[in-house]
Amino acid sequence: MVKITFIDAGGQSKTVEAEEGSTVMEAAIRNDVPGIEAECGGACACATCHVYVDEAWVEKLPKPESMEEDMLDFAYDVRTESRLSCQIRVTAAIDGLVLRTPEQQG
Amino acid sequence: MSETIKTDALIIGAGPCGLFAVFELGLLDIKAHVLDILPRAGGQCSELYPEKPIYDIPGFPQITGQGLVDNLMKQIEPFAPTFHFNEQVDELESLGTPQAPLFRLRTNGGLVFEAKVVLIAAGGGSFQPKKPPVPGIEAYEETSVFYAVRKMDSFRGKRVLIVGGGDSALDWTLNLQPIAERVTLMHRRDEFRAAPHSVNAMRELVAAGEMDLVLGQMTGLKGENGELSAVSVKGNDGGAFDIACERMMPFFGLTMKLGPIAHWGLNLNENLVPVDTEKFETNVPGVFAIGDINAYPGKLKLILSGFHEAALAAQKANRYIYPDKKVVFQYTTSSSSLQKKLGVA
């Protein structure tokens, strides 16, 4: 299992175990991580699983595809470290990933 | 005050479940009007994922969101439902009894309906424009900040800032550019989702010096008494500056909100409407809730579940609308009377 830590806008942190091959969004939903809504269920169609990637991790993740960039246009308070968690695949390489959830989704 | 539209059934929401409810009601000779806040049928299928394949519609190994909607529209053609788009039901008032329900419904556009049964097929709620994360934006809404253009003339001679990178943003940039004093388009990156020909047209205007393109994000609004004078911006190059403008239009897509349904006297459970699993009826007899909007033990938010719910709700609606009719369950494969209704006999 791969460990992922989510820190909410209030600073509360929660570390969950994610299965390799799933997505970060799925791990968040399965573990009731607050601040991730995932209205569309992972179709990259809603921008409500928006996260900020910890600085130390931004370069280590595969770059977003254009579909994700397009959908990020709809997210609330987008920054350079913004990603949609439904598009981040869980692999051994991201063990220890730290993400921040935004103040609100959409 | 408009004339009251009388109907057997009013379906709120023209997504896949609302559309299929037309079919199930139609087989039972129940006429339906269908209403939606969006300008077209299809709900989330058309709005969120028109081109994305769905893999769990029985009988279709793969079908796109729009493909499913197109098929449903064709399937319900024999029942000729009346659609009312760009309308939201604001009020629901009960005029009848639990045995013989009757409801009066009023929309934001001034339509008044009298319906014997109401099927709420509102999915995740009504689609509303997303607001940008700028403090105090409410103070400018409908005076200087607009999420849609109702009267183009109110932009004439104004400095207009349009924010976003999709078709709405680009279309309005091109439409308002000739009549506005100056149009500025701002987007968070130099790539646009909008149709390439609109993007090209915009870039030509920028190159000709007839409008401005800014890459950055809004950070604040300046003005007083609802009258905008400038928008503060953080540019992608890191610099902070103001763009002087009297009108601003943010286009950040749509989000779903439950909306006025919350005030109709229905039991609610975290923005969902609890129903029974025999008739998919709410706590108000004659008001049904089907599809993603309802809640019951074991609920799955699947389109196929909504289809099932529509079929069962229609059976109970039939009892209200035709209390004396003998109930005969029939199959479309074999019943000549059903086939006649479908126009295939």
Q: What is the CATH number of the domain that holds B209?
A: 3.50.50.60
Predicted local confidence at residue B151, as pLDDT: 84
- Tell me, yes or no, if the pTM score tops 0.90: no
What's the structural domain count of chain B?
2
**Nearest-neighbour CA in chain A from B245: distance (Å):** 22
Looking at the structure, tell me whether residues B71 and B102 fall in a common domain. yes
Where a domain ends, among B252, B287, B311?
B252
Measured between alpha carbons, how far is residue B318 from residues A67, A87, B16, B305 in Å? 45, 46, 21, 20
Q: Which of B124, B133, B188 sits opposite A73 (nearest CB)?
A: B188
Predicted local confidence at residue B4, as pLDDT: 96
CB B158 within 8 A of CB B180: yes
Q: Do A40 and B48 touch (CB under 8 A)?
A: yes
Does B150 reach chain A within 8 Å, measured CB to CB?
no
Looking at the structure, tell me whether residues B137 and B219 fall in a common domain. yes
Predicted local confidence at residue A68, as pLDDT: 94
User: Domain range spanning residue B203?
Assistant: 131-252
Looking at the structure, tell me whether residues B23 and B106 fall in a common domain. yes
Predicted local confidence at residue B303, as pLDDT: 97
Does A19 reach chain B within 8 Å, measured CB to CB?
no
Query: What crossing angle do the helices spanning B167-176 and B196-207 adopt, rounded to 10°?
Result: 40
Q: Which of A43, A46, A73 sits opposite B164 (nearest CB)?
A: A73
Give all domains of chain A, ordered by start, each with its CATH number.
2-62+78-97 (3.10.20.30)
Average pLDDT over residues A59-88: 92
What are the pLDDT tens digits along chain B (345 aa)? 569 999 999 999 999 999 999 999 999 999 999 999 999 999 999 987 888 889 999 999 999 999 999 999 999 999 999 999 999 999 999 999 999 999 999 999 999 999 999 999 999 888 888 888 898 999 999 899 999 887 889 999 999 999 999 999 999 999 999 999 999 999 999 999 999 999 999 999 999 999 999 999 999 999 999 999 999 999 998 899 999 999 999 999 888 888 899 999 999 988 899 999 999 999 999 999 999 999 999 999 999 999 999 999 999 999 999 999 988 889 999 999 999 999 998
Does A39 reach chain B within 8 Å, measured CB to CB?
yes
Looking at the structure, tell me whether residues B121 and B190 fall in a common domain. no
Closest by Cα among B154, B167, B114, B160 to B2: B114
Where a domain ends, among B200, B227, B252?
B252
Looking at the structure, tell me whether residues B63 and B157 fall in a common domain. no
Q: How far apart are CA B22 and CA B9, in angstroms?
A: 9
Q: How far apart are CA B197 and CA B203, in angstroms?
A: 10
Q: How far apart are CA B224 and CA B136, in angstroms?
A: 11
Q: Do A76 and B165 touch (CB under 8 A)?
A: no
Where a domain ends, among B252, B280, B296?
B252
Q: Do A73 and B49 touch (CB under 8 A)?
A: no
Opening angle at CA B16, ends B10 and B18, nearest 5? 10
**Nearest-neighbour CA in chain B from A95: distance (Å):** 30
Average pLDDT over residues A34-38: 90
CB A2 within 8 A of CB A9: no
Four-residue CA torsion sign, B170, B193, A46, B74 = positive
| Structure tokens that stand for B286 in this block | 């004659």
Predicted local confidence at residue B1, as pLDDT: 55
Range list of β-strands (E), B131-267: 159-163, 182-187, 212-224, 227-235, 240-244, 247-250, 254-257
Contacts of B253 in chain A (CB under 8 A): 47, 73-74
Looking at the structure, tell me whether residues B118 and B199 fall in a common domain. no
Contacts of A73 in chain B (CB under 8 A): 164-166, 187-189, 193, 252-253
> Which residue, among A73, A103, A104, would best test binding to B if mutated, counting the most B CBs under 10 Å from its CB?
A73
Looking at the structure, tell me whether residues B102 and B171 fall in a common domain. no
- Helix%, strand%, coil% for chain B, nearest 5: 25, 30, 45
| Structure tokens that stand for B185 in this block | 């388009």
Q: How far apart are CA B24 and CA B78, in angstroms?
A: 12
C-beta neighbour count of B14 within 10 angstroms: 29
CB A85 within 8 A of CB A25: yes
Does A45 reach chain B within 8 Å, measured CB to CB?
yes
Looking at the structure, tell me whether residues B243 and B264 fall in a common domain. no
Please return the burial class of B286, using the count of CB atoms within 10 Å of its CB with bins 0-12, 13-18 and 19+: buried
Q: Do B133 and A69 touch (CB under 8 A)?
A: no
Backbone Cα Rg of chain A: 12
- Tell whether the model's pLDDT for residue A50 goes beyond 60: yes
Looking at the structure, tell me whether residues B162 and B83 fall in a common domain. no
Cβ pairs A/B, distance under 8 A: 38
Looking at the structure, tell me whether residues B109 and B167 fall in a common domain. no
C-alpha of B163 from chain center: 22
Looking at the structure, tell me whether residues B238 and B282 fall in a common domain. no
Looking at the structure, tell me whether residues B86 and B193 fall in a common domain. no
- Helix, strand, or coil here: B226? coil
CB A49 within 8 A of CB A22: no
Looking at this protein, which amino acid is placed at residue B55? Y
- Helix, strand, or coil here: B172? helix
Q: Which of B52, B188, B189 sits opposite A45 (nearest CB)?
A: B52
Question: Which phi and psi angles does B291 have, rounded to 5°?
Answer: 80, -160
Contacts of A78 in chain B (CB under 8 A): 188, 217
